[in-house]
Every structure is written in structure tokens, then in C-alpha cells.
Structure 1
Amino acid sequence: MAYIVNKNDRLTVYVEDLTHDGSGVAKVDGYPLFIPNALPGEEVEVQVTKPMKKYGLAKLIAVKKASPDRVEPPCHVFWDCGGCQLQHLSYEAQLVQKRKTVRDVMDRIGKLPHVPVHPVKGMENPWRYRNKSQIPFSEKNGETIAGFYKTRTHDIVDTDVCIIQSEEADELMSTLKHKLHELGIRAYDEINHRGMLRHLVIRKARATGELMVVLVTRTKKFPQKEAVIDVIKSVVPEVTSIMQNVNTQKTNVIFGEETILLHGKPFIVDTIGDIQFEISARSFYQINPEQTEVLYGQALEYAQLTGNETVIDAYCGIGTISLFLAKQAKEVYGVEIVPQAIEDAKRNAELNAIDNAYFEAGPAEVVIPKWYEEGKRFDVLMVDPPRKGCDEKLLETILEYKPRRIVYVSCNPATLARDLRILEEGGYRTQEVQPVEMFAQSSHVECVAWLEI
């Protein structure tokens, strides 16, 4: 098959835009080339690595004319690690680019050029914001390594520092990496399914300072367990919880089904606003606590609650948004497909003495019609789905029962735009979209959309 470009071609191109994953986009006679680490407005020399029918991939060889927004990444492994995509772009320009990303998909996918997309609500300090770190461990040339996966691979980029996670995570990652070898504990070999320590997961509560350390192991048997606990306590004496999660499967999924308490409590407590949450090893909890308050504040603003409304919170997780809503609504009904999350949500409601929030496990598209059949009626629907967007059957359910207002919280602008188009065709009107920064230095952006019937 003949392509406009061929493998190993060297070209000088002008970068027009960024993809959703932070790669530069240039065009050769209308044929798109995606170039990691290239920025809009730059003239760059590239080498084609993979020509395909509709687009090609290329690697950056040299920047001939740099963008005025290009900066030196402060992280020493940025060029190899896949955790961040935009450290080489100034933070102000990152926010501009993220708004543009949202605007583009609203126009192209959502066919919603009339809907306002506001400037991104950014961070004052876009570093050290992650309250959760998931660090893979392995071995290389007989040495224990730990860090983060190289882009589109399972090759670990070895490092002792990550400047978007907590200092405690850095210290634990570095110390354990060097101590495991001394203790005779082997890190996990993913290819041969050998070794013991697979991942180190660290969760820190911003408001309380409580810290949880989870050791994900290939076997339930844990040699030198007490010695490892002592190492962790020597690094962070104030550690609240040390857990072992057992994952015996040959898989790239981090957690297994069994979690064992090794030290302290089985959860940590954090607060968002004035609401407390108990967070266990596998709870879903937003990773940027400072911006979570901004995100939920925006969702509440769009919900326009007066105290008389009955609200559905679909994809409610451990009840984080539900409990915020319950403070200002008549009643809130949360639904989530993960039973453990619903148990956590009920416990968090009790913890905060909130008695007007009700939770049920199951698919939203099954549970919501059941609630209507039971005679319940809802004024506002809150949805916060995973990256794939709302389930098609849930969208059908929404359009059948038509709550008068929808607040849609999204971590993927493309699937948000797709779902808004479906809801628009069903009679809703999107009023506005507010992007919120949750993942600084990455190409991801969260959004809150407001719809009315």
C-alpha cells in the first residue's frame, strides 16, 4: 500500500495542534502525523516511525523553531515516563490547550458550537497534588527497580522521585526499593510470573494527614513481613494503615480480591469541605483533593438545589458527590454497580450523620426504573461515569423518565460530547460546560456540564 509518507522518512513539519494524549499534530498534504513531545506553533524535524492508512506516527528529531510556551521539564525522567504528557508546556498554556480540547470536541462530536465552554479552573500550585500513588516494582540486571511505566509499554522507568505525588510516596518508593534486596525479597517478574512484590500503593489524606500503604503481593505468604512493616514505619512513623493485597493472577490489573490488615486501621479518613470519608485500600476517591472541592462546588452550583429536590447520583462510588448533594437536597438516591462501594457510601453517610441519602448496588439503567416503578420522582440527575461515558441503556433510561436537570461530571471530553449530543436529540439543552483541572502536567481534563429539559 502506498502512503503519502514512508517509514523512516525525515521531514520538516509545522505542528498545528495537540491530540487528546498530548502528541503534536502536523499535516503532510492533509495527512496527519502524530508526534510526541512536539508543541503547537513549532517547526520540527521528525522521522516517520509508523505510516498507516489514515494517519502516521513520527518521533521528534529536532525542534527547529520552538514554541514560546515550551519550558524545560523539571522532572528528570519526563522524556521516558508516561505519567505526565505536558511538563514541557508552560502551565498557563496547558490550561489554554485543555479548554481548546473541550471546545473542539463540543463542536466536532457534540455539534454544540453554541454552548459556552468556560476557561479551565486551574491550580495555584500544579505540583505534588496526587493523594494516591500506584508504583510498580520489578527487577532489572539483578537489581530492584520501581517507578512508572514508559508510554504504551510495561517497561518501568526507574526513579526515586515523582514531583506530582507526595514526598512520603517518594521516600517509601526509594527506601523500599533499596531495602527489598537486603531482605531477600524479590520484586515481581511480570513475564515469568515470579517474585513477590508487585505494586506499592500509597494513599494520603490531605485534611487529616493520615497515610495508608498497600503492598500488592503475588502470594499470600509474605516472607520478612515484620521487617518490611518496620521499614515502612521507619520512613513514615505516623503511618495510619499498612495493608497487604494479594493478587495471584497473571494480569496487569493492580489489585487482587483479598486485602489483609497488617498494621493500624483498615482505612484512612479524609474530608472534602465539611464531609468526612473513610477510604479503604480499593475505594475510588478523586486523586486531587484541592481541585475535588472545586469540581464538586461546580456540580453543586449547576444542580441549583433549594432543599426541595430529590436527586439521583448515578455512578455514585463511595458517595462523595451524593453526600455533598444531600446537604442541600430533600433526598439523594445513589446507585453504583460495585457492591463494596455502596457499603462504603452507606458507612460514610452514617459517619456524617446524613440520613437523607440512600444507596443501592446495581446497574443504574436497572435500578433507576425500579425506583420510578416504586413511585419515586426525581428533579435532578447527577452522573459521573468512567472514561467510556454513560452506558447506552442509562442514556435511554434518562430520556424515558426525563428529570428536568442533569449535571454531567466527565473525565473524558470526547465521550461527554458524544453523550450530550444524544441527550440533545432527546430534548435536553446543554447550557454550558466548565472544565476543571484535576490532572496538572497531563493532557487530561475534567468537565462539568449543565443540561435542562
Structure 2
Amino acid sequence: MDCGYYNKGLCRSCTVIEVPYARQVADKQRLVQELVAPHGDPQWLEPVTSREAGFRNKAKMVVAGSVGDPTLGILDQNGSGTDLRDCPLYPEPISVALDALAEFIARVRLLPYNVTKRRGEIKHVIVTGSPDGRLMVRFVLRSTQQLSKIQDNMSLLRELVPHADVVSVNIQPEHKAVIEGPEEIMLTEQTELVMTVNEIPLRVRPRSFFQTNTEVTSQLYRQVSEWVDRASPRTVWDVYCGVGGFALHVAGPSREVTGTEISDDAVASARDTAAALGLPESGPGSVRFIVDDAAAVPSGPAPDLAIVNPPRRGLDAGLCEWLEDSGVSTVVYSSCNAKTLARDLGRMPSLEPFEARLLDMFPHTGHYEVAVLLKRRG
């Protein structure tokens, strides 16, 4: 992929953009295989590749510059804004929205936050796009001081960004490298963006996590669903379930699926999707979602199959110990960090890698997703 920002030295976020894409994938495949190899010899399925451009469904842009002339992008070493609205990673609906949002910020005269001087109000804009081009727009402000400028100009925002179904303001008062704060103020009646993946209308709220590459995510869900159907479990736990992507994909008429997630917003969205699909909360064919610390050791009888999708830090030692001793016959582990995956496999020696697949969510970087099917030895 050719990128003018990279060529001019303005942005180096895509750390391996100069490496041909086929080699990028081969390098990632080699890395994950080497890390998993000490713990078993799974059958490695063909890697899932991504489009090289236009694949990211979310743009997190720092707002800098001046009143009337904002930049949307990143900060340089001096704390000045570098505008990245034409970044080729984003599909057209997001790129068009970023241009319109820059115009909106300028016209309503929101004051960009100056990191060096610690003054100003608007820190970031975050835009998420669905497969059908609908958008969620979030403004991250330092305080509520200029909130009314956005509220009073919602008609202008709708005119400039007509595909924005969900609009909110997040308040981040602290001066630190954390994009969002704990307070979210909704400005639209609709509070969830519908992300239809494999014909399942997943709901995403402003503070909910969703993978940034929708096309590859759809293939991840299909792969895990295939593994689960092959195992034919009666009970399934989806640990770190997020907005319910895995749980809702593996639901079945004779199956009971339980998802756990610490985020109230994510669980609420998952429940909304399940309700929209007409899925009961108990009994055969049910899908239920529980707000709980996914890292904690579960209570109650073990399921026939468990799906785990932890953050980069991997599973807590206690959860690994529980999975090792629980007797659960099959585990599907979706990981964005093969180093912690390998560590966790070492903690669960009774669960042997049987099949595995690399999914390249993040072209031009060293990041990836890898899914592994584990079966209990003996």
C-alpha cells in the first residue's frame, strides 16, 4: 500500500508498510507457529488475509490546530497536529465524515486541546463505521464547558454527517495518554450502532469494544462457529464476550450459551442483539449475558466448551488453572498476542492445540489475531 503520509515522514504508525503484504502475513504466520510449537503441533489452516487499504472500521483522531482551522490526526514530537484525514486505512464513509467533522469543529468554533499548554476543550473525535456505511461519532472533550456548542448545532452536524446514527460526547478531564473518560453523554435517541456481521445485527455502544477489521472479524466468527458446531457441545461459555459476537454466532436450538463480560455497556448491547433475534435467556437454544469479571475463576459446573478472547495480557493464572482442572473437553482461544497465548498454553498442558488459524486484522503492523482449537488430551 502506498501512503503519502508515510512517504513524507509524517506518520509511521504502519511500521511494516514497506514490506510486501504477502511477506507480512508469512512473517506473522512464522512467529505464531514458533510460539505455539512447544505446546503442540496443530494443523495450521490457510491464513485469513485482509484488504490492504480501507479496512479499518474505526478512526481515533487527535484534534489539534486552532479555532477555525483544526487538524484531525496525530501529534508530532512538538505536540503540534498532523492532519491524517486522507489516511488510506479508512473506507470512504469514514474519510468523508472526517472532512465533515473538521468543518463542523471549525464552524462551531470548538477549541482544540493544546497538550503543551494544557488548555483547550476538544481532544479527539472517534468515528466508527458499519458495513452498510452508517456511523457512530464521538467527541472527546476536556470538560462540559463547550458541550452546548455541539448540542445547539446538532442540525448542522446532521447536515454535514447525514449517516451518523449515534452521536455522543465523552468527558476526559485528565491530562494523560488515555483517549476517553468515564462519562458519556448521548446526543441522539439511537444509542447503538448496528454492525451486521454474517447476517447477525450486533449492537455496539460508544464505550463497547469491537474489532477494527469487520471483514476479517466475520471470518473469525465463522471459523470459531465451525469448530463449535463440529464439537457439538450442549453448553458453551463465551468468556470476555464483549458485545456477544462469538456467543451469538454459536447459538443453536439445542445449545445453552452464556457470555460473561465486565463492561455493562457491552453486555447491554449483547442482550439487545439477542432480544432482537428472539433468543431466550434460559433453556435449550438460549443465550444469556452476565456482567462479571471475565478474568475471575468461574463458579458452577464446567461447560462442554469454552471460548476465551482475552486482551493482550492473556488469561489470568487462576482462570488457566480452572480450565486445566475443570474437565472442559474443548476450548477455543482467540488471541491478539501469541506470546501470552503460548504462556497460557504452558499453564494448561492437558489442553492440546488441535487446529489453528492466523487472521490478519492489522495489515502493515506487527499485530494479528490467532485462533486455536484446543482439545483435552486422552
* TM-score, normalized by the shorter chain, greater than 0.5: yes
Residue 242 of structure 1 is matched in structure 2 by 167
Residue 13 of structure 1 is matched in structure 2 by none
CA–CA distance in structure 2, aligned partners of residues 305 and 382 of structure 1: 14
Against the structure 1 CA distance between its residues 295 and 423, is the aligned structure 2 distance closer, same or farther, given a 3 Å change threshold?
Answer: same
Matches within 5 A, 1:56-205: 73-78=1-6, 79-107=9-37, 111-112=38-39, 114-123=41-50, 125-139=51-65, 144-148=70-74, 156-177=81-102, 180-205=105-130
Aligned partner of 1:192: which letter?
K
Aligned partner of 1:423: which letter?
M
Contact 1:336 1:364 in 2 (8 A): yes
1:371 pairs, out of 287, 292, 300, with 300
CA–CA distance in structure 2, aligned partners of residues 307 and 82 of structure 1: 46
Matches within 5 A, 1:431-446: 431-446=354-369
Contact 1:168 1:236 in 2 (8 A): no
CA–CA distance in structure 1, aligned partners of residues 21 and 253 of structure 2: 35
Give the deviation of 1:144 after TM superposition. Answer: 2.7
% same residue: 26
Matches within 5 A, 1:305-324: 305=230, 308-324=233-249
Partner secondary structure for residue 381 of structure 1: strand
Residue 335 of structure 2 is matched in structure 1 by 410
Instruction: Say whether residues 1:276 and 2:201 are aligned partners.
Output: yes
Partner secondary structure for residue 348 of structure 2: helix
Against the structure 1 CA distance between its residues 329 and 169, is the aligned structure 2 distance closer, same or farther, given a 3 Å change threshold?
Answer: same
Contact 2:28 2:368 in 1 (8 A): yes
CA-atom RMSD in angstroms = 2.5
Aligned partner of 1:433: which letter?
A
Q: Which runs of 5+ in 2 are unaligned?
A: 281-285
Contact 1:383 1:407 in 2 (8 A): yes
Matches within 5 A, 1:259-274: 259-274=184-199
Against the structure 1 CA distance between its residues 113 and 383, is the aligned structure 2 distance closer, same or farther, given a 3 Å change threshold?
Answer: closer
TM-score, with structure 1 as normaliser: 0.75
Contact 2:101 2:160 in 1 (8 A): no
Residue 283 of structure 2 is matched in structure 1 by none
Q: Report Cα offsets for 1:127-154 as digits up to 9, x if no partner.
A: 1111111111123799532213569x97
Residue 361 of structure 1 is matched in structure 2 by 291
Aligned partner of 1:76: which letter?
G
Give the deviation of 1:253 after TM superposition. Answer: 1.6
CA–CA distance in structure 2, aligned partners of residues 325 and 249 of structure 1: 41
Aligned partner of 1:263: which letter?
T
**Comparing 410-419 with 329-338, which one deviates more in the overlay?**
329-338
CA–CA distance in structure 1, aligned partners of residues 53 and 92 of structure 2: 11
Contact 1:316 1:336 in 2 (8 A): yes
Give the deviation of 1:182 after TM superposition. Answer: 4.9
Against the structure 1 CA distance between its residues 104 and 391, is the aligned structure 2 distance closer, same or farther, given a 3 Å change threshold?
Answer: same
**Comparing 335-344 with 130-139, which one deviates more in the overlay?**
335-344
**Comparing 302-311 with 284-293, which one deviates more in the overlay?**
302-311
Contact 2:67 2:110 in 1 (8 A): no
Contact 2:204 2:266 in 1 (8 A): no
Instruction: Say whether residues 1:419 and 2:347 are aligned partners.
Output: no
Partner secondary structure for residue 326 of structure 1: coil
TM-score, with structure 2 as normaliser: 0.88
Contact 2:41 2:353 in 1 (8 A): no
Partner secondary structure for residue 224 of structure 1: helix
Give the deviation of 1:379 after TM superposition. Answer: 0.8
Residue 70 of structure 1 is matched in structure 2 by none
Instruction: Say whether residues 1:216 and 2:140 are aligned partners.
Output: yes
Residue 381 of structure 1 is matched in structure 2 by 306
- Which one has the largest radius of gyration? 1
Aligned partner of 1:254: which letter?
I
CA–CA distance in structure 2, aligned partners of residues 276 and 182 of structure 1: 35
Give the deviation of 1:391 after TM superposition. Answer: 1.2
Contact 1:146 1:157 in 2 (8 A): yes
Against the structure 1 CA distance between its residues 240 and 74, is the aligned structure 2 distance closer, same or farther, given a 3 Å change threshold?
Answer: same
Show structure 1 runs of 4+ deviating over 4 A. 140-143, 153-156, 305-308
1:285 pairs, out of 198, 210, 231, with 210
Partner secondary structure for residue 4 of structure 2: coil
Residue 267 of structure 2 is matched in structure 1 by 342
